[in-house]
Amino acid sequence: MNSVERIIKIHRVLLKGRADSIAMNEVWAEIFEIPKGVPHREDWIIEAVVAFRAELDQTGKQLASLNVPVDLTSSVFTRLRDAAYPAAFNQNWQNFRASVSAPECALVLAWSAWVLQRFGEDEIAQEQFAAIVAHLAELEELLQATEMPPALHAFVQRQVDDIRAALRMYPIQGIKALKKAVDTATGAFATPDEAVVEEYERAGPEAKGVFKKAFDVLKQAAEVAGNAEKLKSAVEAIYGSAAPHVKSIGQSVIGMISGS
């Protein structure tokens, strides 16, 4: 699936029948399946529409690099960007419905997808996606139920938050969102702060078990994103020449990579 095919899927949901009086922030919450009552809901909605606007911009640039005349696509991308403008969240759907529902929108998007057909990206199988979501939920439940030193707790929570955010972005950004999260987490595990290392060395088996679970989730995400070998190589290379104070955590992580 290329970037325009993702935009088409979002556009089709955008055209779903709804009351004209619905505010645009609720329209986008529905499109990106952000339920009511979740913490930081408004932040998630803004995060999603900003990412969508960025995809529109990047796709326009990609088409232009292939010598597609800008005036063939820009008006349609502009209409979608305007509808996904955070400053317009309080406006009603009726203010945007006609412009994004015009027949030329679907036509231009379909043609753009055809132009970019050779730029398809890997997709995450539904069962793989569901498995990562389930393991993240298990990890977070375990994290909340286990007494852990503060730096170690914050370290694991950050990995949970980053990978979950990447999964939220998947319908918008595709697999590159997960690849980026895996790269960030790889760096975090490969070069942990000294406070994390010290707390890990003093931690009991339950806290270390949470750490291992976090790394297992990272390995799973890396395998889905195609970054498993990169994760293994990066961690082994760094820990292979690590300073003595990180040897304990380093040996543990390398053992997790090896499955021991």
Domain boundaries, the chain: 3-119, 126-258
pTM of the model: 0.82
Position 241 confidence tier, pLDDT thresholds 50, 70, 90:
very low
pLDDT band at 260 (very low <50, low <70, confident <90, very high): very low
pLDDT tens string 46-59: 999 999 999 999 99
246: which 2 tokens?
Answer: 């990180």
How confident is residue 254, by pLDDT bands cut at 50, 70 and 90? very low
User: What is the C-alpha to C-alpha distance for residues 201 and 249, in angstroms, rounded to an integer?
Assistant: 7
Question: For 1-19, how does the pLDDT look when each residue is reduced to its tens digit (9 = 90+)?
Answer: 899 999 999 999 999 889 9
Q: What is the mean pLDDT of the chain?
A: 87
Count, residues in the chain: 260
Secondary structure class of 182 (helix, strand, coil): helix
pLDDT in tens, 203-222: 899 998 898 888 888 888 98
Residue 231 has pLDDT above 70, yes or no: no
Query: Phi-psi category of 120—alpha, beta or left, where left has phi over 0 and alpha has psi -120 to 50?
Result: beta
Average pLDDT over residues 167-172: 94
Cβ-contact 235, 253 below 8 angstroms: yes
pLDDT > 70 fraction of the chain, expressed in percent and rounded: 87
Helical ranges in 15-125 per DSSP H: 24-31, 41-65, 70-83, 94-101, 103-115
Q: What is the pLDDT of residue 189?
A: 80
Nearest to 168 by CA among 133, 139, 215: 133
pLDDT in the model for residue 116: 95
Output 243 or 78, whichever has higher pLDDT. 78
> What pLDDT shows up at residue 86?
96
Other CB atoms within 10 Å distance of the CB of residue 57: 12
| Alpha-carbon distances of 166 from 23, 51, 137, 161, 176, rounded to whole Å | 26, 11, 15, 9, 9
Contact assessment for residue 34 and residue 171, using Cβ atoms and an 8 Å cutoff: no
Least confident of 44-58, 66-80, 153-167, 180-194: 180-194
**How high is the pLDDT of residue 15?**
94
- Cβ atoms of 217 and 163 closer than 8 Å: yes
pLDDT of 222 reads 87
